[in-house]
Amino acid sequence: EPTIGVLALQGDVREHLAALAASGAGPRSVRRAEELDAVEGLVIPGGESTTISKLAVAFGLMEPLRARVRAGMPVYGSCAGMILLADKILDPRSGQETVGGIDMIVRRNAFGRQNESFEAAVAMTGVDGPPVEGVFIRAPWVESTGAATETLAAYEGHAVAVRQGALLATSFHPELTGDHRVHALFTEMVRSAR
Ligand code: GLN
C-alpha cells in the first residue's frame, strides 16, 4: 500500500488519516522534514492556510515541500490545502506563502458571509458514480487557471476541483464525509506515480 503523509501542523489531520486508511493507503503524520522524506505522497488538510503556511516555515518544511513538489511527489490539498497548492493567492494575508505547484489563482473565503458553510452535490471528473457531497467551509474558489491544469469540478461557475499532473486540489472537504472516492482517486495517483 502506498505510504501517504498528512501534513500535521494544523487542521483536520485525523479525518484525512482515517479517509486514507479506508482508501487502501498507509497514512502517516508529517511534521518534520525526515517524515516528509519517508512518504510517497502527501495530503495538505483543511484548516487555516495562513497558520499552516507560517508553521511550515517555522518547522523548516516549506522549502522541502517545494522541492518534493518540483520532483513530482503527488499532493492532494483540500480547502486550506488547495490554497497552499496554488501558485498565487488573490488576497493573501500578510506573511502568507504557498507551496505552489498548481498554476492557478485562488480566492480565499470566496463564497461570502451568507454562504460561510454549506453542502452541495458536485459532479467530479475522475470520480465515478453519483456526485460527491461537497462540504464547503469558508472555502476558496479558483479564480483562474493556466493551460496545464484540468478543472475536475465546478460549482456556480467557479472551479472547485483542479488537477495538474500529480497535484490535486478541492475547495471542499471529502474527508468530512463517509465517501472516500476522492481519497481513493488520490491513492491511485500515488500508486501510478511509482
Ligand atoms: N478559509 C480558510 C483559509 O483561508 C480555509 C477554510 C478551510 O480549510 N475549511 O485558510
Q: Which domains does the chain have, with CATH numbers?
A: 3-192 (3.40.50.880)
Return d(Cα 194, Cα 189) in angstroms, integer: 9
Q: Which of 79, 96, 171 best tests ligand 1's pocket when mutated (most atoms within 8 Å of CB)?
A: 79
Relative to the CA of 11, which ligand 1 atom is closest?
8
Instruction: Supply the pTM of this predicted model.
Output: 0.98
**Which cell is 47 given?**
484548516
Atom 2 in ligand 1: residue holding the nearest Cα:
48
- Provide the pLDDT for residue 8: 98
**Span 102-120, pLDDT tens digits:** 999 999 999 987 778 999 9
| Residue 170: closest CA among 46, 8, 5 | 46
Q: What is the DSSP-derived secondary structure letter of residue 59?
A: T
Q: Is the pLDDT at 26 greater than 90, yes or no?
A: yes
**Which cell is 139 given?**
472555502
**Span 136-177, pLDDT tens digits:** 999 999 999 999 999 999 999 999 999 999 999 999 999 999
- Provide the pLDDT for residue 9: 98
Question: What DSSP string describes 163-184?
Answer: EETTEEEESS-GGGSS--HHHH
- State yes or no: is 116 an active-site residue: no
Catalytic entry in 16, 173, 180, 183: 173
